[in-house]
Amino acid sequence: MTEARGGAGRAAFPVGLTIAVAICLAILVGLGVWQLQRLKWKEGLLAHIAALQSAKAVDIGPVMGALGEGRDVDFTRVTAVCPGLATAPFLELDGLRDGQAGVRLISACPVESARYRTVLVDRGFIPDTAAARPKVDAAASAPVRLTGVLRRPDKPNFMAPANQPGHWFTRDVAAMAAALKAAQPAPVFLSAETPTNPELPVLVPAPLPGEIPNRHLEYALTWFGLAAALLGVYAAVLFRRTRA
């Protein structure tokens, strides 16, 4: 089909193509800007974690009070004394550490605050290759002094399997606390930095990931590069039309 031409013998301006290119360009630039926003957020998070790793741990009691008042205590390093924690009942939560599959042991620790009576403790990681588990004695009360990091539970995604009574796949504070008969649980986990069971070396405290990737600048440059390439193609099409 012969293209329509203007009065000067040139091809008509490609209105449809221009609209399509403008829409695609807006999407690509928007994605690039969003990645730059994510970059700023990630840099703040990494700076917070870096400060956390050298911060002095504080007593968990006042922190629980601040949490009850609505303050954000995520990544706060605390100390707690947990009676009977070394032999406390535990739940097994699916997890990964350095690419190795295994489970994290979750137990309850009493706390003293106006609003909360317990906090769930992530005692550490045991790889699937190890069958050993800590001895359970609910009547034991020997205190365990623990240093760890308070973490908000991640929101489960649609791909996560449903939790089961004997096996857990997501950090559901309310359900886990009910299974452990822990009253008035705080909506955070205390991830242990110090061992709760030194006699069991396969149970490794692992509160923070070794590395948190930060590739948002790379992603932003990719989207902006695609936008620039699209503009280049569009300009080439217009140039060819003007020469036709």
112 and 61 in a common domain: yes
- Say which residue, 88 or 206, is predicted with more confidence: 88
- Say which residue, 201 or 74, is predicted with more confidence: 201
pLDDT over 90 at 52, yes or no:
no
- Say which residue, 112 or 27, is predicted with more confidence: 27
The residues, any chain, with a CB within 8 Å of residue 123's CB and separated by 6 or more, are 85, 90, 104, 105, 106, 107, 134, 192, 196, 197, 203, 205
Residue 85 belongs to some domain of the structure: yes
pTM of the model: 0.72
The per-residue pLDDT for 2 is 44
pLDDT over 90 at 97, yes or no:
no
Residue 174 belongs to some domain of the structure: yes
The per-residue pLDDT for 99 is 82
pLDDT over 90 at 172, yes or no:
yes
Of the three residues 177, 192, 207, the one that is the final residue of a domain is 192
Mean pLDDT of 223-242: 92
Mean pLDDT of 225-237: 94
The residues, any chain, with a CB within 8 Å of residue 204's CB and separated by 6 or more, are 97, 124, 125, 126
pLDDT grade for 9, boundaries at 50, 70 and 90: low
Q: Which of the residue ranges 2-6, 13-17, 219-223 would you say has the lowest mean pLDDT? A: 2-6
Count the domains in the chain.
2
- Say which residue, 11 or 213, is predicted with more confidence: 213
Contact 84, 154 (CB under 8 A): no
- Say which residue, 9 or 239, is predicted with more confidence: 239
Query: pLDDT over 70 for what percent of the chain?
Result: 93
List, for residues 31-40, the tens digit of each pLDDT value. 999 999 999 9
224 and 109 in a common domain: no
The per-residue pLDDT for 4 is 45
Task: Choose among 165, 166, 170: nearest CA to 189.
Answer: 170
The per-residue pLDDT for 1 is 41
The per-residue pLDDT for 54 is 74
Contact 151, 208 (CB under 8 A): no
List, for residues 130-156, the tens digit of each pLDDT value. 999 999 998 888 999 999 999 988 777
181 and 227 in a common domain: no
Distance CA 191, CA 147 (A): 8
Domain that holds residue 35: 15-43+216-243
133 and 109 in a common domain: yes
186 and 65 in a common domain: yes
- Name the DSSP class of 184: S
pLDDT grade for 244, boundaries at 50, 70 and 90: low
37 and 82 in a common domain: no
List, for residues 182-216, the tens digit of each pLDDT value. 999 999 999 999 999 999 999 999 876 556 778 99
The per-residue pLDDT for 90 is 96
- Name the DSSP class of 34: H
182 and 98 in a common domain: yes
Report H helices in the chain: 15-54, 60-68, 173-179, 216-243
231 and 159 in a common domain: no
